Amino acid sequence: MAASDFLFYDGQLRRNGQIAIDPDNRSFRYGDGCFETMRVIDDRLVLRDYHFERLLQSIERLRFEPPAFFNSHWLEEQVLKLVRTNGHQRMARVRLMVFRGPGGVYDPQNHYPHHLIESWELNPATQQWNENGLVMDVFRDARKVCDQYSMLKSNNYLPYLMAALWAKENKLNDAILLNPYDRLADCTIANLFLVKDGMILTPSLEEGPVNGVMRRHLLQSFRKAGIPVTETQIPADNLLEASEIFITNAIHGIRWVKQVGGTNYTGELAADFYRNFVQSL
């Protein structure tokens, strides 16, 4: 992906490389903050309302104190201004990070939502159906906790980072993370869905997954279309019993999984879901 020539940092367009991190920055020290990863197609933010609703709810839950102007309309203007400045408006990946400024654990300087927006040009191949399927396995060295913060896209990303390193070392496309109860949570950069006995299953938010925007879009689409789906507890053993597995995120939409460990899957339903609910977004 082509990198940003410009960034948007705390209300100003800045050239890449001109921003320095304060060593007392609480996000740098503690992962104190959250982020959104969004897709722009033809100068339009895909699933815009879902992204900003989640971001603003996360800011509230993390006890930031945003000024009045810091709302979805203002943020959308800044995102689109940045992608146009970088020449990425045709197809882009955008990362919007919010973080607290300097301070120790008990004495933050203030609760202003400092923010950084970056954009990268997307390869059109990321929007195509993955014909070959993904190869994955379960990462057991870290667990996703199940609490009021586990559903957020937090800047504290360590379990996912370790799982991603492990996946790369083992020549896998992604890794599945479990919660403390040996049940499925999500993947390093995606939510997880299984098809079992004709029912679509996905871990409920109480099980520790991130509250994914594409996950939310698909759940609503399935229910509207009368497709049986449930958010529930899913023991890891269910990976052996599923007929299909697919993963979802805001950038790729849906990708089907060909193999987890020694178990193989088809991708017929997932391909239909991609065509019916994702391709035209």
**pLDDT tens by residue, 238-258:** 999 999 999 999 999 999 999
Domain boundary among 126, 145, 162: 126
Q: Which two tokens stand for residue 141?
A: 């060295």
Q: Work out the mean pLDDT of the chain and round it to a whole number.
A: 96
Residue 123 near residue 158 (C-beta atoms within 8 A): no
| Same domain, yes or no: 273 and 208 | yes
Among 126, 156, 177, give the residue marking a domain's end.
Answer: 126
**pLDDT band at 20; cut points 50, 70, 90:** confident
Angle between helices 213-224 and 48-61 (to 10 degrees): 130
If asked whether residues 192 and 146 sit together in one domain, one would say: yes
The CATH number linked to 243 is 3.20.10.10
Q: Are residues 142 and 253 in the same domain?
A: yes
How many folded domains does the chain comprise? 2
The span from the CA of 101 to the CA of 210, in Å, is 24
pTM (2 d.p.):
0.95
pLDDT band at 1 (very low <50, low <70, confident <90, very high): low
For residue range 153-172, list pLDDT tens digits in order. 999 999 999 999 999 999 99
CA atoms in the 13 A half-sphere facing the CB of 100: 26
pLDDT band per the 50, 70, 90 thresholds, residue 19: confident
Q: How confident is the model at residue 152 (pLDDT cuts 50, 70, 90)?
A: very high
The DSSP letter of residue 123 is P
Query: Which tens digits make up the pLDDT trace of 100-132?
Result: 999 999 999 999 999 999 999 999 999 999 999
- Domain interval for residue 37: 6-126
Q: In this structure, are 28 and 151 located in the same domain?
A: no
* Percent of the chain clearing pLDDT 90 (strictly above): 96
Same domain, 200 and 119: no
Same domain? For 99 and 61 the reply is yes
| 192 and 236 assigned to the same domain | yes
Residues 104 and 145 in one domain: no
Q: Let me know if residue 1 belongs to a domain.
A: no
- Output the DSSP codes for 14-50: EETT-----TTBHHHHH--EEEEEEEEETTEETTHHH
CA distances from 51 to 72, 83, 158, 278 (A): 9, 17, 23, 16
Please, what is the angle between helix 72-85 and helix 48-61, to 10°?
120
Do 117 and 140 reside in the same domain of the chain? no
- Domain-embedded: residue 192: yes
Domain match, 32 and 112 both: yes
Is pLDDT at 67 greater than 70 in this prediction? yes
Give residue 89's pLDDT. Answer: 93
Q: 102 CB contacts (<8 Å, ≥6 apart)? A: 22, 24, 25, 26, 108, 109
pLDDT at residue 4 greater than cutoff 90: no
Q: Among residues 126, 146, 173, which one ends one of the domains? A: 126
pLDDT digits (tens, 9 = 90+) for 230-242: 999 999 999 999 9
